[in-house]
């Protein structure tokens, strides 16, 4: 049985949290395999709302195991406070496991994230300032700390002295307003290490053994494929691979186990932070999407930039992730717009591009080629239970997306909450 790998097909905030929660009811385990507290995944049912940053979004279902795998970067204090919040609302997190190989986001990673952004000035990336870039950079530079190191305090202390010397030298060479105190960091690590290591496991072995026993695994991607460090709009990206194939390297799952990549596509586009966004709208339609879609960053509270659906970008995201099935989200937000547009290509320098541009400066200067559709006025968030209930104009919009992307829209989401979800045919994981 393949493991389902759920990935966002745009620049994040596609509704991965909602769809993960929806599918997790059928899963034995939900695995977060990349990213960290920069993610903000919302799950809503009834009048309850949860915003997950590091905890897998599927853990509100009874009996589901949650795994934060090796490719994730863990902010221990943030994670413990998030866990406390969820547990205080009556949910059991005793089956949440953290890879002993996952890297730790240190306090100086967050400080450096902010200071480096300030140094970039007008060229800032607009990061979430959660220390993600500096933490992954240290992982690659072999200056990082992994969860298993919390178990050996003496060695931890020694290594901290060295790493903090390197970090302070770097900060002072660039005149960054950052002062890193190894002793204070060590003391704070001792405070949380017990609570974290209680959940630490060899999750690689756990995942492979679950797959071998035919358990149903759901991998929850974060951030969206256009923010992938290799395949997104570099450098306006996050610092991890977000493509479906990364589920292997970032969890240690053996490639002998097949995956089923499943995409989450929002019916229009949003982006938080800097970077190219060819279909961005700064008119009343953009305002409609922002207001009706309540497009405010889940992690940072920043307003999200809004625009038309970009199928040229989505086709690239689908190619690099092997997606054949998608959940189309936030279709209800499009109600009330007269004419809808979707980008089906880019023109650059008077020429139609065949492939998605690797270069952000090209992506900044392209002109989207649009296809127009009739909109609909019906509100979709009340009483829409079956695909047949949707207005014809919405069905035409969906059919075009399916055909253009060569995917099946298996799930249509028409509202925030679990019950506002239309499933086409029988869905299983
Ligand atoms: P994620 O990062 O991909 O998990 O997405 P976020 O949670 O950051 O942002 C998606 C927002 O849209 C959340 O507030 C969700 O509650 C909401 N949402 C998800 N699906 C739908 C939908 O179909 N319709 C509407 N109106 N809101 C939705
Ligand atoms: P979810 O999982 C939207 C964006 C940031 C910034 C860039 C780099 O909720 O979809 P980082 O802090 O990762 O170094 O920031 O990536 N970004 C996101 N945008 N949703 C997210 O997560 C994001 N995670 C990172 O805004 O432009
Ligand atoms: Mg989000």
From CA 33, how far away is CA 101, in angstroms rounded?
12
Give the C-alpha separation, 236 to 229, whole Å. Answer: 9
* Final residue of a structural domain among 197, 226, 259: 197
- Beta-carbon neighbours within 5 Å of ion ligand 3: 13, 40, 298
Q: Does 114 score more than 80 pLDDT? A: yes
Residue 98 lies in a domain: no
Asked if the model's pLDDT at residue 242 lies above 90, the reply is yes
Which of 197, 226, 244 is at the close of a domain? Answer: 197
Short-list 41, 50, 33, 37, CA closest to 12? 41
Whether 142 and 79 map to the same domain: the answer is: no
**Same structural domain for residues 187 and 235?**
no
Instruction: Determine if ligand 2 sits within 6 Å of the CB of residue 39.
Output: yes
Specify if 428 maps to a domain. no
Give residue-wise pLDDT tens across range 369-402: 999 999 999 999 677 889 999 999 999 999 999 9
To the nearest 10 degrees (0 to 180), the angle between helices 153-173 and 107-120 is 10
Establish whether residue 266 lines the binding site of ligand 1, counting it when its CB lies within 6 angstroms of any ligand atom. Answer: no
Structural domain contains residue 141: yes
Query: Do 170 and 80 belong to one domain?
Result: no
**Enclosing domain of residue 111:** 103-197
Nearest atom in ligand 2 to the alpha carbon of residue 221 is 2
Do 284 and 153 lie in one domain? The reply is no
Cβ proximity of 337 and 285 under 8 Å: yes
Measured distance CA(238)–CA(261) in Å, rounded: 20
Q: Which band of pLDDT confidence, cut at 50, 70 and 90, is reported for residue 183? A: very high
Give 52 Cα–ligand 2 centroid separation in angstroms: 14
Asked if residue 357 belongs to a domain, the reply is yes
**Residue 33 shares a structural domain with residue 140:** no
Pure H helices in 89-181: 107-120, 132-140, 153-173
How far, in Å, are 22, 96, 249 from residue 63 at the CA level? 15, 11, 26
Picking from 197, 213, 229, the residue at the C-terminal end of a domain is 197
Rounded to the nearest integer, the mean pLDDT of the chain is 97
Phi, psi of 397 (to 5 degrees): -60, -45
From the CA of 329, which ligand is nearest? 1
**Using an 8 Å Cβ cutoff, are 55 and 83 in contact?**
yes
Q: Are residues 272 and 372 in the same domain?
A: yes
Which is the closest atom of ligand 1 to the Cα of 415? 24
Same domain, 176 and 228: no
Is the domain of 174 the same as that of 316?
no
128-152 pLDDT, tens digit each:
999 999 999 999 999 999 999 999 9
Assign 177 a pLDDT band (cuts: 50, 70, 90): confident
Ligand nearest to the CA of 11: 2
Whose Cα sits closest to atom 16 in ligand 1?
A: 416
Same domain, 156 and 246: no
Do 343 and 255 fall within a single domain?
yes
| pLDDT for the residue 208 | 98
Ligand 2 centroid to residue 114 C-alpha, Å: 14
Q: Residue 283, exposed/middle/buried by CB under 10 A (0-12, 13-18, 19+)?
A: exposed
Ligand closest to the CA atom of residue 14 = 1
Query: Is the link from the previous residue into 225 a cis peptide, with omega within 30 of 0?
Result: no
Q: Are residues 365 and 279 in the same domain?
A: yes
Position 93 in a domain: no
| 16-55 core/surface letters (b: 16 or more CB in 10 A; e: else) | bbbbbbbbbeebbbbbbbbbbbbbbbbbbeeeeebbbbbb
Q: Which residues are designated catalytic?
A: 13, 41
Structural domain count of the chain: 2
Counting residues of the chain whose pLDDT is more than 70, the rounded percentage is 100
Q: How far is the CA of 130 from the centre of ligand 2 (A)?
A: 10
Q: With respect to residue 300, please indicate whether it lies within any of the assigned structural domains.
A: yes
User: 166 and 57: one domain?
Assistant: no
CATH number at residue 394: 3.90.170.10
């Amino acid at each position: 049985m393949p493991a389902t790998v759920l990935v966002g097909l745009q620049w994040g905030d596609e509704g991965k949290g909602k769809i993960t929660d929806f599918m997790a009811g059928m899963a034995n385990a939900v695995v977060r395999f990349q990213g960290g507290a920069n993610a903000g995944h919302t799950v809503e049912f009834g009048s309850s709302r949860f915003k997950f940053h590091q905890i897998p979004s599927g853990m509100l279902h009874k009996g589901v195991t949650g795994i934060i795998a090796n490719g994730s970067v863990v902010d221990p204090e943030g994670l413990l406070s998030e866990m406390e919040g969820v547990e205080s609302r009556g949910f059991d997190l005793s089956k949440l496991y953290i890879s002993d190989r996952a890297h730790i986001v240190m306090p100086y990673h967050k400080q450096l994230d902010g200071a480096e952004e300030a140094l970039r000035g007008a060229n800032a990336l607009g990061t979430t300032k959660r220390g993600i870039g500096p933490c992954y950079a240290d992982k690659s530079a072999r200056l990082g700390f992994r969860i298993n190191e919390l178990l050996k305090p003496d060695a931890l202390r020694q290594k901290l002295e060295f790493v903090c010397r390197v970090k302070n030298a770097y900060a002072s060479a660039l005149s960054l307003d950052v002062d890193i105190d190894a002793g204070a960091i060590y003391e704070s690590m001792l405070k949380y290490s017990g609570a974290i290591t209680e959940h630490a496991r060899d999750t690689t072995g756990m995942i492979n053994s679950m797959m071998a026993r035919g358990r149903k695994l759901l991998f929850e991607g974060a951030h969206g494929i256009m923010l992938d460090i290799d395949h997104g709009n570099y450098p306006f990206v996050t610092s991890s691979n977000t493509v479906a194939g990364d589920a292997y390297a970032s969890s240690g799952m053996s490639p002998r186990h097949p995956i089923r990549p499943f995409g989450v596509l929002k019916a229009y586009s949003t982006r938080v932070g800097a970077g190219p966004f060819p279909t961005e709208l700064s008119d009343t339609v953009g305002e409609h999407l922002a207001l009706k879609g309540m497009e405010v960053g889940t992690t940072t509270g920043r307003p999200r930039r809004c625009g038309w659906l970009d199928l040229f970008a989505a086709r690239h995201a689908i190619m690099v992730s092997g997606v054949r099935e998608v959940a189309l989200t936030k279709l209800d937000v499009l109600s009330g717009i007269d004419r809808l547009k979707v980008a089906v290509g880019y023109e650059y320098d008077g020429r139609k591009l065949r492939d998605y541009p690797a270069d952000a400066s090209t992506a900044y200067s392209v002109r989207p080629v649009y296809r127009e559709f009739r909109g609909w006025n019906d509100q979709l968030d009340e009483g829409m239970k079956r695909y047949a209930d949707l207005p014809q104009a919405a069905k035409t919009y969906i059919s075009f997306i399916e055909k253009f992307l060569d995917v099946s829209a298996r799930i249509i989401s028409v509202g925030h909450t679990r019950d506002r979800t239309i499933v086409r045919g029988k869905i299983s994981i």
